[in-house]
Amino acid sequence: MGRKRSPDELPKPQTNMWDFVAYYMRFQRTQRGLSGEALGRIINVGKAQVSRIETGVQRLDARQAAAIDKAWNTGRLFSLLVWYAAIGHDPAWFAQYVEIEQKSEMLRIYEANVIPGLLQTPEYAEALLRSGTETNPDQLITDRLQRQDLLLRDTPPHLTVLLSQNALDWPVGSPEIMYGQLARLLEEAQRYHVALRVLPRSWATGAHAGLDGSFQIMSGDNFGEVAYAESPGTGRLVSSPPDVRSYGIRFERISAKALDECASSALIQKIMEEMR
């Protein structure tokens, strides 16, 4: 039996809308004298997944919210709460993203413009972050590099990276910094748990599903699958299964146009040679 969480460990409704949804679902369940198993039958999931939703590890999706509304005759309250949570800005988005990233057992990353943070050299990260509008870039650089420890664990997550060629040859910092960064990519690509492929900038590639922007999909036993998309100053976590699947389809469509691993490494080496 799982350890019973203290009130301090449960989602706080003042934190953000998703935590309010988790809090209120648990409140309404206990008010009705229902077990987690009973609620699971209503939303067609197991008791463990109910617990993950109530503790904020996983999010209630639109289908589950509609099932609760029907069973409890709420007047669509849960559906509306989930809708507002999905479209609103979550002030705790980055902390939640990092927590999920660090718990992931599989990461699929598509990057359109820059090298992914998990694979950046210190010099590249510094040049990139100091070029922005952040008020405390030193802390951001430290935090980003610490997150890379995830890949050095005894059992690291499997990492699949699709990189647009734009990320490889856009000048960041200096030729020396870019050369070192590309060398780091080649080194990381040799790890057994890393698959690195490049989407070439060519007429053969043409328009593709990645032109809408960068994103990643994180998978783990503790939370299922969560997609993440970033925009200037904010980010969006997506946990609704239909929405996550749409990101998975985008990833596969981009992957279909990417070079294989050997050809990708050869292209990186070619770009490095042109920098000399």
pLDDT at 235: 77
On whether residue 1 sits in a domain, the answer given is no
pLDDT tens digit string along 97-145?
888 899 999 999 999 999 999 999 999 999 999 887 777 888 889 999 9
DSSP SS3 for 76: coil
Residues 30 and 111 in one domain: no
The H or E element spanning position 108 is strand 106-111
pLDDT at 1: 39
Mean pLDDT by 10 residues, the chain (276 residues): 55 83 94 95 93 88 94 95 76 79 95 96 94 81 93 95 96 95 97 97 92 93 86 76 92 97 97 90
pLDDT at 95: 81
- The CATH number assigned to the domain holding 45 equals 1.10.260.40
On whether residue 228 sits in a domain, the answer given is yes
Residues 116 and 184 in one domain: yes
pLDDT at 92: 66
Residues 58 and 101 in one domain: no
CA atoms within 13 A on the CB side of 202: 9
**What are 39's two structure tokens?**
């609620």
CA atoms within 13 A on the CB side of 252: 6
DSSP SS3 for 248: helix
| Residue ranges making up the domain that contains 48 | 7-87
Helical spans, DSSP H, in the chain: 17-31, 36-43, 47-54, 62-72, 77-87, 93-103, 122-130, 137-147, 165-169, 175-188, 241-257, 261-275
pLDDT at 132: 78
The DSSP code sequence of 138-169 is HHHHHHHHHHGGGGGSSSPPEEEEEEEHHHHH
Residues 145 and 248 in one domain: yes
On whether residue 2 sits in a domain, the answer given is no
Residues 243 and 127 in one domain: yes
pLDDT at 187: 97
Of 68, 66, 164, 46, residue with least CA distance to 115: 164
How far is 148 from 87, CA to CA, in rounded Å?
Answer: 30
- This prediction's pTM: 0.74
Contacts with 16 (C-beta within 8 Å, 6 or more apart), sequence order = 85, 90, 91, 92
pLDDT at 35: 95
